[in-house]
Amino acid sequence: AQSVTQPDIHITVSEGASLELRCNYSYGATPYLFWYVQSPGQGLQLLLKYFSGDTLVQGIKGFEAEFKRSQSSFNLRKPSVHWSDAAEYFCAVGAGNTPLVFGKGTRLSVIA
Amino acid sequence: SAVISQKPSRDICQRGTSLTIQCQVDSQVTMMFWYRQQPGQSLTLIATANQGSEATYESGFVIDKFPISRPNLTFSTLTVSNMSPEDSSIYLCSVDQPGLALQETQYFGPGTRLLVL
């Protein structure tokens, strides 16, 4: 069965520090992988996606993610976090034309 | 990317009543989905709204409780029937939109925040 694990429920980082949010997936076929962000009181916004090709994908707001098939991981990174990045981050897996399976999310807090 | 709107954006309802949530997309899409996000939780798929046929429900969700309509390729409704406080959640509409090489990406509406008293 398809599943997504986000091991960290809550992460706190200082503004300007680097960030890495972990995501591990279980999927029977070649996965499509996504990261979404949900700001307080808002809907979900797509940050980036991986379908094939280059395993390092760039997204909006300075985020990037790296697909590592051997580790079944798709970790999200940002070199320097801004206070406005405080939000809930969801990793998801799918395979085109099927609904996504979401992880439980990681809440990011940013401190001065 | 598709632009998705939902109505209402939020509502407070009494138990035992029903609420219909509308989802409108600015372009024709094949796949539309309804998700539920309970407080502090991740997203759970309720059903896939199929144009011209009955919705396909996930385990734990039934048509009598969550009837869905999909009259055309740009619109869908989800009704939360006979509500109880446990139905208090954010309800999100989502669509699949093909991109390059038929790679599809799901986009989400802003959500409907429902509180049942």
Residue pLDDT, tens place only, B73-86: 999 999 999 999 99
- A-chain CB neighbours of B101 within 8 Å are 51
Chain B residues within 8 A of A103 when measuring between CB atoms: 42
Closest Cβ opposite residue A43 in set B45, B96, B108: B108
Strand locations in A1-112, DSSP E? 3-5, 10-14, 19-21, 24-26, 32-38, 44-50, 56-58, 64-68, 73-78, 87-94, 101-102, 106-111
- At B99, the pLDDT band (50, 70, 90 cuts) reads low
Partner residue facing B107 (CB), from A46, A51, A105: A46
Percent of chain A with pLDDT over 90: 76
Confidence tier at A1 by pLDDT (50, 70, 90): confident
Residues in B closer than 8 angstroms to A41, CB to CB, are 113
Give the pLDDT confidence score for residue A96 in this predicted structure: 66
Question: CA of A82, closest CA in chain B: separation in Å?
Answer: 23
In the prediction, which pLDDT does B105 show? 79
pLDDT at A76 over 70: yes
Residue that wins the pLDDT comparison between A29 and A58: A58
Four-residue CA torsion sign, B57, B32, B108, B103? positive
Tokens in use for A81? 């976090």
Give tens-digit pLDDT for B1-59.
Answer: 778 999 999 999 999 999 999 999 998 888 899 999 998 888 999 999 988 888 999 99
How does residue A97 score in pLDDT terms, banded at 50, 70 and 90? low
Q: What mean pLDDT do residues A19-47 have?
A: 89
Residue A2 has pLDDT above 80, yes or no: yes
Question: Which pLDDT score, from 0 to 100, does residue B100 have?
Answer: 52
Closest residue of chain B to A6, computed from CA coordinates: B42
pLDDT at B98: 63
DSSP character at residue A41? T
Lowest mean pLDDT among A67-71, A73-77, B99-103, B104-108: B99-103
* Mean pLDDT score, B87-102: 80
Binary contact (A100, B42; C-beta < 8 A): no
Query: Pick from A90, A97, A99: which is nearest to B45 by CB?
Result: A99
Is the pLDDT at A53 greater than 90, yes or no?
A: no
Would you state the structure tokens that stand for residue A106, as one six-digit string? 């990681």
How would residue A84 be classed by pLDDT, with cut points 50, 70 and 90? very high
One-letter-per-residue 3-state SS of chain B: CCCEEEECCEEEECCCCCEEEEEEECCCCCCEEEEEECCCCCEEEEEEECCCCCCEECCCCCCCCCCEEEEECCEEEEEECCCCHHHCEEEEEEEEEECHHHCEEEEECCCEEEEEC
Q: Output the average pLDDT for chain A.
A: 92
